[in-house]
Amino acid sequence: MVKGFGVADHISIPDLGEFGPDSGLVSRSVGSDGCFRAGQGGVSAILATGDGKVEFIAFEGFSRAYVKSALGYPAYYPVHPVRLEKPVKAVLMDLDGTSVRSEGFWIWIIQQAIADLVGNPRFELEDADLPYVSGHSVSEHLQYGIHKYCPDRTLEEARRRYFEHTHRELAAIMDGTGRSDAFIPTPGLKEFLLSLKARCIRIGLVTSGLYEKAYPEIVSAFRTMGMGDPQEFYDAIITAGYPLRPGSVGTLGELSPKPHPWLYAETCRVGLGIPFSERNSVVGIEDSGAGVCAIRLAGFTPVGLGGGNIIESGTRALCSYFASTLAEILEYMK
């Protein structure tokens, strides 16, 4: 692990911003993969998010972002400047935590899977685990749990246990016999969505969750709000696709989730048909640090919503705006 230290003075990262000691970002002398060192090879500084998931390497006049991968497939991305241009043409919204309060439910499913692997039905995750079992892909969440609690077990075993619990619990929820507190609309969601529609702002729903677990969430929330079919309401819905299982075909999703930019980029460019040149009229709303980074690397204006792990992950300074309610975000976009 590459160690870092708090930002002692203000550091400028081209096309990203200037960051000081209270930014939550961490200064590093060398990048995690060892390819770049501050003060050498044209690199002026290296800053990492507080959770270490993303590193920003500053050169003269431009920057690069390094997104780590728990599964061994990291990537470098360009950092594009962003500014909000009004009127806003589109809003891209995260699902878990931003549109629907369900993070606790999915952490519980992760916990159940790890409990199976360690052979202890009373097993519970620690508070320190929470930033690492939310906001990323299922495989990354499980890999973290395996590494810490049962390193002798495999990711394939963990995924099998995870989906067994998922299928059982989702089926129970959809037929009305499951947990009633699993998928709760975020306060003010209905009013927020209807206000966007009234202003002719296009709406995309974006999630790192696999379709089979993500779609029942929004269906359940729309039923609660009395808003009908979410497919008819949203202009685009992008999930992480379908899981790869023996005897079935999977889709890309496990290696390209947030904080990679692809889900947000695809929702806007392909789903909504908005070209990259018009990205500054697009707002992305997230409650997780991984999501904030994904929006920022896709070139959109990131708006943070309280209640998630943005502050804990050290990504608050990457938000163009930070709010505690959806109503505040409406005012920001006027």
| DSSP per-residue string spanning 273-294 | ---GGGGGGEEEEESSHHHHHH
Q: According to the model, what pLDDT value does residue 292 have?
A: 98
Q: Distance from CA of residue 191 to its chain's centroid?
A: 23
> Beta-strand (E) ranges in 171-316?
184-185, 202-206, 236-238, 282-286, 301-305
In a shared domain, residues 300 and 226: yes
The answer to whether residue 22 sits within a structural domain is: yes
Residue type, position 167, single letter: H
In a shared domain, residues 235 and 300: yes
Burial 142-173 (b: 16+ CB within 10 A, else e): bbbbbeebbeebebeebbebbbebbeebbeeb
In a shared domain, residues 151 and 17: no
Question: What pTM was computed for the model?
Answer: 0.85
CATH number at residue 304: 3.40.50.1000
Q: Distance from CA of residue 166 to its chain's centroid?
A: 20
In a shared domain, residues 72 and 161: no
Q: What are phi and psi of 44, to 5 degrees?
A: -90, -30
In a shared domain, residues 95 and 244: yes
Q: According to the model, what pLDDT value does residue 124 have?
A: 97
Nearest to 311 by CA among 285, 334, 287: 287
Examine the fold and report which residue of 174, 201, 233 is the final residue of a domain before the chain moves on. Answer: 174
Domain that holds residue 276: 90-101+185-333
Structural domain count, the chain: 3
In a shared domain, residues 24 and 63: yes
Residue type, position 238, single letter: I
The answer to whether residue 63 sits within a structural domain is: yes
Task: Determine the Cα angle at 50 with ends 47 and 51, to 5°.
Answer: 115
In a shared domain, residues 157 and 29: no
Q: According to the model, what pLDDT value does residue 10 have?
A: 87
Report yes or no: 13 and 79 within 8 Å, Cβ to Cβ: yes
In a shared domain, residues 148 and 196: no
In a shared domain, residues 227 and 113: no
How far is the C-alpha of 304 from the C-alpha of 287, rounded, in Å?
Answer: 6
In a shared domain, residues 245 and 327: yes
Examine the fold and report which residue of 155, 174, 193 is the final residue of a domain before the chain moves on. Answer: 174
How far is the C-alpha of 84 from the C-alpha of 34, rounded, in Å?
Answer: 35
- Structure-block tokens of residue 332: 């920001």
How many C-beta atoms lie closer than 10 Å to residue 183's C-beta?
24
How far is the C-alpha of 292 from the C-alpha of 316, rounded, in Å?
Answer: 9
The answer to whether residue 195 sits within a structural domain is: yes
In a shared domain, residues 62 and 118: no
The answer to whether residue 11 sits within a structural domain is: yes
pLDDT tens per residue, the chain (334 residues)?
455 666 767 899 999 999 999 999 999 999 999 999 999 999 999 999 999 999 999 999 999 999 999 889 999 999 999 999 999 999 999 999 999 998 889 999 999 999 999 999 999 999 999 989 986 788 999 999 999 999 999 999 999 999 999 999 998 887 778 787 788 999 999 999 999 999 999 999 999 988 988 988 998 899 889 999 999 999 999 999 998 888 989 999 888 999 999 999 999 999 999 999 999 999 999 999 999 999 999 999 999 999 999 999 999 999 999 999 999 999 999 9
Q: Distance from CA of residue 102 to its chain's centroid?
A: 14
| DSSP per-residue string spanning 33-93 | TSS-BTTSTT--EEEE-TTSSEEEEE-SS-EEEEE--TTS--EEEE-------SSP-EEEE
In a shared domain, residues 216 and 305: yes
The answer to whether residue 84 sits within a structural domain is: no
Nearest to 112 by CA among 85, 151, 65, 145: 145
Q: Distance from CA of residue 65 to its chain's centroid?
A: 16
